[in-house]
Amino acid sequence: MTDLPLSQPAAAMPGRRTGSLLAQDDRTRRRNAAESRFRLYGVIAIAISMIALVVLLATILTGGAGAFRQTYLNIPVTLDAEVLDPNGNRDPAEMAKVLTLAYGRVLDAAVDGTIARHGIQIEGLSEADIDGLISREASAQVRDRVLANPELVGQTVEFDVLVGGRIDGYFKGRVTMDSAERDSNTSPQQLMLAQELADRGEMVTRFNWNFLTNADASDQRPEAAGVGVAILGSLYMMLVVLVLSVPIGVAASIYLEEFAPKNRLTDIIEVNISNLAAVPSIVFGILGLAAFINFAGLPQSAPIVGGLVLTLMTLPTIIISTRAALKAVPPSIRDAALGVGASKMQSVFHHVLPLAMPGILTGTIIGLAQALGETAPLLLIGMVAFVRNFPDGLPGGLMDPASALPVQVFNWTQRSDPAFIERASGAIIVLLIFLLCMNLLAIWLRRRFERRW
Amino acid sequence: MPLSWAIFASFLLAAAGYIIGRSRAFASAGPDVRKLHSRPTYHGYSVALTALFPPLAVLALAGLLRMAGVLSAEAGPVVGLLALGAGVVGLGLGVTRIGQQFQARNAVERMVLGLLMLCSLIAIVTTAGIVLSLVFETGRFFQVYDWRTFFFGTEWTPRFQGNSQLGIVPLLWGTLYISFIALLVAVPIGLFAAIYMSEYASGRVRSIVKPAIEILAGIPTIVYGLFALITVGPLLRDYFAQPLGLGNSGSSVLTAGLVMGIMLIPFVSSLSDDIINAVPQSLRDGALGLGSTPSETVRQVVLPAALPGIVGAVLLAASRAIGETMIVVLGAGAAAQMSLNPLEAMTTITVKIVSQLTGDSDFNSPETLVAFALGLTLFVITLALNVVALYIVRKYREQYE
Amino acid sequence: MYDTNRRVETAVTPDDIKIQARKVQVYYGDKHALKDVDVDILDKTVTAFIGPSGCGKSTFLRCINRMNDTIPIARVEGQILLDNEDVYDRRVDPVQLRAKVGMVFQKPNPFPKSIYDNVAYGPRIHGLARNRSELDGIVEKALRGAALWNEVKDRLQEPGTGLSGGQQQRLCIARAVATSPEVLLMDEPCSALDPIATAQVEDLIEELREQFSVVIVTHSMQQAARVSQKTAFFHLGNLVEYGDTDDIFTRPRDSRTEAYISGRIG
C-alpha cells in the first residue's frame, strides 16, 4: 500500500452530500423530473405503436366488412323460350350458342315488370337508369343457371340477381345522392328507384358467401369479384412451400447443427443463410423470373413458380428456427443415446429430432405465415395477371394460372372503381384470418409441447 | 410433367428394393438374425437408396440439359428409360452387397449424411442463383445502355418507343429519402418502446404490449400498403399538403415513410430488446448502487454498452426499408424526381423494378432489362448493410457471452 | 429464545450508531426471506455479516440502500434508520439514499467506460464537483483511497474493463468512494478475486474504516475475523447472534453460531 490513506475527517470532504434524507434537494428534484420525462417518452412510444395498430386494423376491418355483404334484387324472370331456346329442343349444347346479351334483354324486361308491378313512378328516371340497376354479371348468372337446368326455359323463375356496384355502394353508405349527381355511372333517380325497391322488400343486402367463392371480375363489375381463385392459388403455393421447405430446411439444419465440421465451407453457409434471411423479397422475385420462368421455362402466373420462389424465401427462416430448436435439446440427451451404443445418426433421428419437433413446427408455421402474406416477388412472376378461371385440381393445377390473396389485394387497389377498395380490404380480412389461425396454431403448439430443461 | 411416370417408377423400384433387401438380409442371416452386422431394415434401406439415387440423378441431369437447351423435348422417353435402367442397375448392385458382414447401417448413414449436406448447400445455390441471374441480365443491359448514364444520370423517363433516359439517381434519392423518414419514425419509437419494456414495464403491461407489437410485426406489408393508400395518404393530403400549399398528391414520401416507419417499429424494438437484455444486470446494479436514477442508468450505462448492437439493429432496419416494396408501390407514387418536399410523390428502386417487369414491353428492351440493373444495385446495397450489421451484432453478442 | 444475545452494544454510546434496524422483514413473493432483524451498525467500524449461503445476509445488506427495490417481487417491512431517518419512509428518494450509502458488488462491474469516467460517474450524477479541476481532484483522491492511483494514473483514459480482476474491484471501490458516502456496503467483494487481490482489498477496507461505516458480507470466516470489529451471524433468515468479532469467534453464545464457525453447518 503505497498510496496515501484518506486522512481528513469525513465532514471536511468536498462535495459530500449533507442534509436530511427526508427532503429532496433541488438537484434530486430536477433529476426526478428528468426521470419522469424519460418514462413518459417510453409510454408515448408504446402508445403510438398501440394506436397505430388499432387504427390500422380498424380501417381495414371497417373498410372491408362491406365486402362480406352484398345487395341482391329479387325478381321473377320469365325465361322466354323463343329467345333462349330458338330451336325448342332444350338441348344445352345448342342453347349455349345463345349469347349472354339475350339473357340481358330477358332480365331488363323482368326489371321493368317488377317496377310496373309495384307502380313505382320516379320523375326523370331514364331507361339507362333502369337497365343499370342490376349488375352486368346478372345475365351471366341467369345464363349459367338455365344452361345447368334447361327445363327452366319457358317458366317464370324467381332470381336473386346482383345489383350494380353503385347501388350496392348506396346501401353500404359509400354512394350518396350528392356523389351520384356527379357520377356518370349512376344518378339520384336510380338510387331513388333502388330505395323504393328496398322499401318494398325486393332489394335486400345480406351476407355474401360469393365473395369467398367467386373468381375475380372485370373492372366494370366489382360487385361480382371474389377471392376464390386467390384463396386456391395461395393454398397451392403454401402446399408447394410446405412440401419443399420443411424437408429441405430440416435436413439442412440437422446437418449444420449436428454433423457439420467447423470449416470454411460451413462458415460460408452460415453467413449465407443469415444474409439470405435479410435479402429484400423483391430480389427473390427477380430470381424467380430469371431462373424459373426465363431459364427453366415454367409458365407465368403458376402456383408452382410462386411456391418455389416462396420456398427459397422461407428456407432461411425455417433453417434458423429449426437450428434454434435443435440447439435447445440438451447435450445430455445425445450423450445418453450414444452411451447405449446408438450411432450419431440414430441419436439425432430417434431422440433429438422428436424432442425438437414442437419448436420446428412453430418455426415452420411462422415461416409459412410470412410466405402467405408476401406480395412483391409474386408480382414479378406474373401472378398479378387477371385470372378468371379456377386452376385444376392437384397436381396439374400447379401449372395453371392462378392468383394469390395478397396479390389480389394489390390488383384491386389498381382498379379505378372505388368499390374495389372495399374488396381489397375484404380480401385482407380473409388473409388476416388465415394468418391469425396459423399463429394461434403456432402459439398452441408452443404452449402444449413446450419443454424446459 | 412428362417424366413424372419415370419418377413414380423409380420410387416403386426403391420400394421393391426395400422389400427385397430386407428379405435377402433375413435369408443370409440364417437362423440367427444377430449374426448380421446391421439389422435387416437397414439392408432394406440401403438397397432402396442405391436404387433411388441413380435414376433421380439421371432425371436431374436431363432436366438441367433440357433447360440449357442441349436436350430437346422429344428425348423424354429415352431419358425415362435411361433413368429406369440406372435404377435397375442400382438395385442389382445394392442386392449383391447384402451379406452378414456388410455394414448396411453405416452405408445408409453415409448416404443420408450426403443428402443432408446437399440440402444445406441450397442456401449457397440460392445466393449463387440470385447473383448469377442479376449479373447476367445486368450485363445484357449494359450492352445496350451506357453504364455511366445509368449510375450518374439524373433523369428517369422510360419510353416505349425507345431512347429512354434511365438514370438511377432520382430513384436512389427517393429510396433514401423514404427510408430516412421511416427510420426517423421507427428508431426513436422502437428504441423507447424497447427501453420501457425492458427497464420499466410491469409484467402485466409487458404481457399485453409485447404480443401487440408482435402482431404489428406479423401483418403483411401489403396491408401497410393499403393503409398508406386509403388512410394515411388522403389524411396527409387533406390536412397538411393542401392547406400548406405543398402539394396535392395522396402518394408522397411522407406517406410511405410514416407507414414504413410503423412497419419497422416492431423490428427495431424486438432487436433492441434482445440487445438491451444482453447488457449484464451487474452494470445496472452498479449504476443504481451509486445512486443513479433508472433513466440515468439507461442513458449513461446501458445504452452506451448496447450501442454497437443498436447500430447494427438500425442498419438492419435501414436495409429492410430500402428493400421494402409494397408500401412504396402503394404509398410513394411513381414520379421519378428529386425534391426536398416530403409531401411530393417520389419513387424508389423497388417501385421501378415492379413497374418495369410487370409492363408489357419487350423482354430484351433496355426498359425491361434495366430492372435487373436496379435489382443488382438494390442487392448490393442491402447486402453490404446486412453484412456490416450482422458482423457488428455478432461481435456485440460475443462480448457479453 | 435468543433474545438475550441479540444485542451486544454495551460499549457503544448512542451517538456512534449509524444504522438502526428494527423488526426488518423481507418477503420474496410468498417466501419470508428475512425475519425480525434488529441490529445497530456503528459508525467508523467494519461490520461483517456471516452465515451459510441463502441465510439472508446479502438480502439484508441490499435493504440498507434499498437495492431490493429493483426486484419487483421483493417486499420490505420494518424500520431501517440511517442517522435516525427511516430509509423506507415514503418521502425518501432512493437516489439520495444511495448517494449516502454506497455499494460494492460481488463481481467487479466496471462500466464500459474509461477509468476516469468510471470514478467520475457518481460525482457527476450527483453534481458534487463545480468544475473540471475539482472533479479531477475527487477522482484522484478516490483512486488513491482505493489504493489504485499509482497503478492507473498514466492511463486514466483507458477502458476500466481492461484492468485485472483485483484492479477492477478496487476501481469499483474507488467509484463508490468517489461519491463520499457515509456507509459503504460490500457484498462479498473478494469472492471473485485471487488471494493477492483479496489481501489488497482487505487492507483497503481497514483504511476505509477511518472514514465510513463499512458493512461487509462475506462467506469467509477468516476474512470476517481479519477485517471486522463487529460480526453478525445470520441463519435461515434470522439474525442469530451479533457482537464483537472477537467474542463471536471465541465465545459464541448460540449453539448455531458455534456450529457454523466450527464448520459443522454451512
| SS3 readout for chain A | CCCCCCCCCHHHCCCCCCCCCCCCCHHHHHHHHHHHHHHHHHHHHHHHHHHHHHHHHHHHHHHHHHHHEEEEEEEEEECCHHHHCCCCCCCHHHHCCCCHHHHHHHHHHHHHHHHHHHCCCCCCCCHHHHHCCECCHHHHHHHHHHHHCHHHCCCEEEEEEEECHHHHHHHCCCCCHHHHHCCCCCCHHHHHHHHHHHHCCCEEEEECCHHHHCCCCCCCCHHHCCCHHHHHHHHHHHHHHHHHHHHHHHHHHHHHHHHCCCCHHHHHHHHHHHHHCCCCHHHHHHHHHHHHHHHCCCCCCCHHHHHHHHHHHHHHHHHHHHHHHHHHCCHHHHHHHHHCCCCHHHHHHHHHHHHHHHHHHHHHHHHHHHHHHCCHHHHHCCCCCCCCCCCCCCCHHHHCCCCCHHHHHHHHHCCCCCHHHHHHHHHHHHHHHHHHHHHHHHHHHHHHHCCCC
Q: Is A20 on the interface with C (CB under 8 A)?
A: yes
pLDDT of residue C64: 92
Domain for residue B125, yes or no?
A: no
Q: Is C179 on the interface with B (CB under 8 A)?
A: yes
**B218 lies in the same domain as B270:** yes
The C-alpha atoms of residue C3 and residue B401 are separated, in whole angstroms, by 48
Residues of C in contact with B203 (CB under 8 A): 72
Q: What's the burial of A27, exposed, middle or buried (CB within 10 Å: 0-12/13-18/19+)?
A: middle
**A106 lies in the same domain as A237:** no
Using the predicted structure, report yes or no on whether residue B203 has a pLDDT greater than 60.
yes
**List of residues 6+ apart from A214 with CB closer than 8 A:** A224, A225, A226, A227, A228
For residue C82, how many other CB atoms are within 10 A of its CB?
A: 22
**A146 lies in the same domain as A204:** yes
Between the CA of residue C14 and those of C11, C18, C80, C215, what are the distances in Å?
10, 9, 15, 18
- Lowest mean pLDDT, pick from A76-80, A422-426, C110-114: A76-80
The C-alpha atoms of residue B309 and residue B288 are separated, in whole angstroms, by 23
Q: Is C191 on the interface with B (CB under 8 A)?
A: no
Residue range(s) defining the domain that contains residue C212: 3-261
**B196 lies in the same domain as B79:** no
Place of cell 393445377: A397
Using the predicted structure, report yes or no on whether residue A436 has a pLDDT greater than 90.
yes
The answer to whether the CB of C248 falls within 8 A of the CB of C47 is: no
Of A178, A208, A238, which residue constitutes the final position of a domain? Answer: A208
Contact B283 C176 (CB under 8 A): no
Tell me how close the Cα of C35 comes to any Cα of chain B, in angstroms. Answer: 24
**A279 lies in the same domain as A424:** yes
Domain for residue C7, yes or no?
A: yes
The answer to whether the CB of B248 falls within 8 A of the CB of B171 is: no
pTM, two decimals, is 0.87
Cell of A426: 375484404
The C-alpha atoms of residue B260 and residue A317 are separated, in whole angstroms, by 22
- C partners (3+ CB pairs within 8 A) are A, B
- Lowest mean pLDDT, pick from B68-72, B203-207, C251-255: B68-72
Tell me how close the Cα of C5 comes to any Cα of chain A, in angstroms. Answer: 32
pLDDT of residue C266: 60
Domain for residue C266, yes or no?
A: no
pLDDT tens track for A182-206:
888 888 888 888 888 888 888 888 8
Domain for residue B31, yes or no?
A: yes
**A133 lies in the same domain as A175:** yes
pLDDT of residue B89: 87
Closest by CA position to B316, among listed B351, B353, B269: B269
For residue A395, say if its preceding peptide bond is cis, omega within 30 degrees of 0: yes
Place of cell 457503544: C12
**B79 lies in the same domain as B169:** no
pLDDT of residue B159: 80
pLDDT of residue A10: 39
pLDDT tens track for A5-33:
444 333 334 456 567 788 888 888 899 99
| Element housing C134 (H / E) | helix C132-145
Q: How many residues does chain B have?
A: 401
The C-alpha atoms of residue C143 and residue B289 are separated, in whole angstroms, by 18
Domain for residue A36, yes or no?
A: no
Domain for residue A131, yes or no?
A: yes
- pLDDT bin (cut points 50, 70, 90) of residue A452 is low
pLDDT tens track for B291-347:
899 999 999 999 988 988 899 999 999 999 999 999 999 999 888 888 888 888 899
**List of residues 6+ apart from C88 with CB closer than 8 A:** C66, C76, C78, C79, C80
Residues of C in contact with B293 (CB under 8 A): 95
The answer to whether the CB of A193 falls within 8 A of the CB of A129 is: yes
φ, ψ for residue C247 (rounded to 5)?
-65, -45
Amino acid at C30: D
Identity of the residue in B287, B289, B293 whose CB atom sits nearest the CB atom of C65: B289
Using the predicted structure, report yes or no on whether residue C16 has a pLDDT greater than 50.
yes
Domain for residue C167, yes or no?
A: yes
Domain for residue C12, yes or no?
A: yes
Identity of the residue in B127, B218, B379 whose CB atom sits nearest the CB atom of A272: B127
Residues of A in contact with B325 (CB under 8 A): 280-282, 375-376
pLDDT of residue A52: 94
User: What chain B residue is nearest to A260 in terms of C-alpha separation?
Assistant: B117
Q: Is B179 on the interface with A (CB under 8 A)?
A: no
For residue A126, how many other CB atoms are within 10 A of its CB?
A: 12
**List of residues 6+ apart from A124 with CB closer than 8 A:** A187, A189
Q: Is C189 on the interface with B (CB under 8 A)?
A: no
| Element housing C32 (H / E) | strand C31-42
CATH code of residue A354? 1.10.3720.10
CATH code of residue C40? 3.40.50.300
pLDDT of residue C5: 42
φ, ψ for residue A16 (rounded to 5)?
-70, 140
Q: Is B386 on the interface with A (CB under 8 A)?
A: yes
- pLDDT bin (cut points 50, 70, 90) of residue A3 is very low
Of B68, B99, B120, which residue constitutes the final position of a domain? Answer: B120
**B115 lies in the same domain as B170:** no
pLDDT of residue C154: 93
The answer to whether the CB of A38 falls within 8 A of the CB of C138 is: no
pLDDT tens track for A276-312:
988 999 999 999 998 888 888 888 888 999 999 999 9
One DSSP character per residue, C82-103 reads: ETTEETTSTT--HHHHHHHEEE
Domain for residue B308, yes or no?
A: yes
Q: How many domains does chain B have?
A: 2
Using the predicted structure, report yes or no on whether residue B53 has a pLDDT greater than 60.
yes
Contact A21 C208 (CB under 8 A): no
pLDDT of residue B253: 93
Q: How many domains does chain A have?
A: 2
Higher pLDDT: A386 or B251? It is B251
Of B76, B93, B120, which residue constitutes the final position of a domain? Answer: B120
Using the predicted structure, report yes or no on whether residue A221 has a pLDDT greater than 70.
yes
pLDDT tens track for B3-16:
677 888 888 888 98
Contact A380 B223 (CB under 8 A): no
pLDDT tens track for C130-189:
899 999 999 999 998 888 999 999 999 999 888 988 899 999 999 999 988 999 999 999
Residues of A in contact with B321 (CB under 8 A): none
pLDDT of residue C15: 58
The C-alpha atoms of residue A171 and residue A419 are separated, in whole angstroms, by 12
Closest by CA position to B183, among listed B356, B51, B318: B318
pLDDT tens track for B105-142:
888 889 999 999 999 888 889 999 999 999 999 999 99
For residue B232, how many other CB atoms are within 10 A of its CB?
A: 23
Residue range(s) defining the domain that contains residue A418: 228-449
Q: How many domains does chain C have?
A: 1
**A297 lies in the same domain as A360:** yes
Closest by CA position to B254, among listed B272, B236, B229, B267: B236
- C-alpha A22, offset from chain centre: 60
Domain for residue B132, yes or no?
A: no
- The residue of C81, C93, C128, C200 whose CB has the most chain A CBs within 10 angstroms, and thus the best one to mutate to test that interface, is C93
Contact C95 A5 (CB under 8 A): no
The C-alpha atoms of residue A425 and residue B179 are separated, in whole angstroms, by 26
Averaged pLDDT of chain B: 88
pLDDT of residue A27: 87
Contact C180 A10 (CB under 8 A): yes
**B279 lies in the same domain as B344:** yes
- Angle, helix A228-254 to helix B104-120, in steps of 10 degrees: 120
**A306 lies in the same domain as A371:** yes
Q: Which residues of C touch A (CB under 8 A)?
A: 82-83, 85, 87, 89, 91-93, 95-97, 99-100, 123, 125-129, 134, 137-138, 141, 144-145, 147-150, 179-180, 182, 200, 203-204, 207-208, 210-212
Q: Is C252 on the interface with B (CB under 8 A)?
A: no
Domain for residue A48, yes or no?
A: no
For chains A and B, what is the number of CB pairs under 8 angstroms? 254
pLDDT tens track for A59-96:
999 988 888 888 898 888 888 887 887 777 777 777 77
Using the predicted structure, report yes or no on whether residue C7 has a pLDDT greater than 50.
no
Identity of the residue in B133, B197, B226 whose CB atom sits nearest the CB atom of A286: B133
Domain for residue A6, yes or no?
A: no
b or e along C28-49 (b: 16 or more beta carbons within 10 Å of the residue's beta carbon)?
A: eeeeebbeebbbbbbbbbbbbb
Q: How many residues does chain A have?
A: 453
Domain for residue B194, yes or no?
A: yes
**A364 lies in the same domain as A437:** yes
Contact A56 B223 (CB under 8 A): yes
- The residue of A16, A21, A28, A31 whose CB has the most chain C CBs within 10 angstroms, and thus the best one to mutate to test that interface, is A21
pLDDT of residue C133: 92
φ, ψ for residue A398 (rounded to 5)?
-65, -25
Residue range(s) defining the domain that contains residue B360: 156-399
Contact A34 B295 (CB under 8 A): yes
Tell me how close the Cα of A237 comes to any Cα of chain B, in angstroms. Answer: 16
- The residue of C18, C96, C125, C136 whose CB has the most chain A CBs within 10 angstroms, and thus the best one to mutate to test that interface, is C96
Contact A60 B223 (CB under 8 A): yes
Tell me how close the Cα of A435 comes to any Cα of chain B, in angstroms. Answer: 8
Domain for residue C112, yes or no?
A: yes
The answer to whether the CB of C138 falls within 8 A of the CB of C129 is: yes
**B247 lies in the same domain as B324:** yes
Domain for residue B130, yes or no?
A: no
The C-alpha atoms of residue C180 and residue A372 are separated, in whole angstroms, by 62
Residues of A in contact with B191 (CB under 8 A): 45
Mean pLDDT of A317-343: 90
Of A150, A174, A208, which residue constitutes the final position of a domain? Answer: A208
The C-alpha atoms of residue C233 and residue C242 are separated, in whole angstroms, by 6
- The residue of B116, B259, B322, B393 whose CB has the most chain A CBs within 10 angstroms, and thus the best one to mutate to test that interface, is B116
Contact A22 C92 (CB under 8 A): yes
Contact residues, C window 32-61, toward B, CB-based 8 Å cutoff: none
Domain for residue A436, yes or no?
A: yes
**A232 lies in the same domain as A279:** yes
The DSSP bridge partners found for residue C48 are C216, C231
pLDDT tens track for C193-227:
888 888 888 988 988 888 889 999 998 888 999 99
pLDDT tens track for A129-178:
888 888 888 888 888 888 888 888 888 888 888 888 888 888 888 888 88
Pairing of strands C183-187, A69-78: unpaired
Contact B372 A286 (CB under 8 A): yes
Q: What is the DSSP letter of C120?
A: H
Q: Is A29 on the interface with B (CB under 8 A)?
A: no
User: What chain B residue is nearest to C169 in terms of C-alpha separation?
Assistant: B286
Determine the straight-line distance between the first and last CA of chain B, rounded to whole angstroms.
52
